[in-house]
Amino acid sequence: SFETPKIPLKLEQQLRRRAVAPSPRKRRVTLQELIEQLQLIKSTIEDRKVRPRTRKTSSKAREQAARAIAELAHQENLVDTASDLEKFLLERSPQSSEGCFEFDRLLELWSSVLQSKAENESNNVQVNSDRVGVFWALLLLSAQSKVELSQEEFYQEIKIRTISSTSERRSVLEKNI
Q: Could you read off the pLDDT of 1-40 as tens digits, one per residue?
A: 577 778 778 877 777 777 776 666 677 778 898 899 999 9
**pLDDT in the model for residue 96:** 54
Mean pLDDT score of the chain? 75
CB 137 within 8 A of CB 146: no
- Residue 111 domain boundaries: 73-176
Q: Is residue 115 part of a domain?
A: yes
pLDDT in the model for residue 51:
58
The CATH number given to whatever domain includes residue 128 is: 1.10.10.580
Note whether residue 33 is domain-resident. no
In a domain, 106, yes or no: yes
- Other beta carbons less than 10 A from residue 164's beta carbon: 17
Which residues is 150 bridged to in the sheet?
159
Beta carbons within 8 Å of 109's beta carbon, 6+ residues apart: 88, 92, 101
Residue 34 lies in a domain: no
Give the chain's domain count: 1
Does position 69 have pLDDT exceeding 70, yes or no? no
Residue 46 lies in a domain: no
The answer as to whether 169 is a domain residue is: yes
**29-44: pLDDT as tens digits:** 788 988 999 999 998 8
- What pLDDT, on the 0 to 100 scale, is given for residue 125? 45
What global pTM score does this model have? 0.49
31 occurs within a structural domain: no
DSSP string, the chain: ---PPPPPSSHHHH----SSPPPPP-----HHHHHHHHHHHHHHHHHHHHSPPPPPPPHHHHHHHHHHHHHHHTSSPHHHHHHHHHHHHHHHTTTSGGGEEEHHHHHHHHHHHHHHHHHHHT--PPP---HHHHHHHHHHHHHTTSEEEE-SSTTS--EEEE---HHHHHHHHHHH-
Q: Give pLDDT, residue 98.
A: 61
pLDDT digits (tens, 9 = 90+) for 128-169: 557 788 888 888 888 888 888 998 888 888 888 888 654 454
121 in a structural domain: yes
Distance CA(117)–CA(51), nearest Å, equals 54
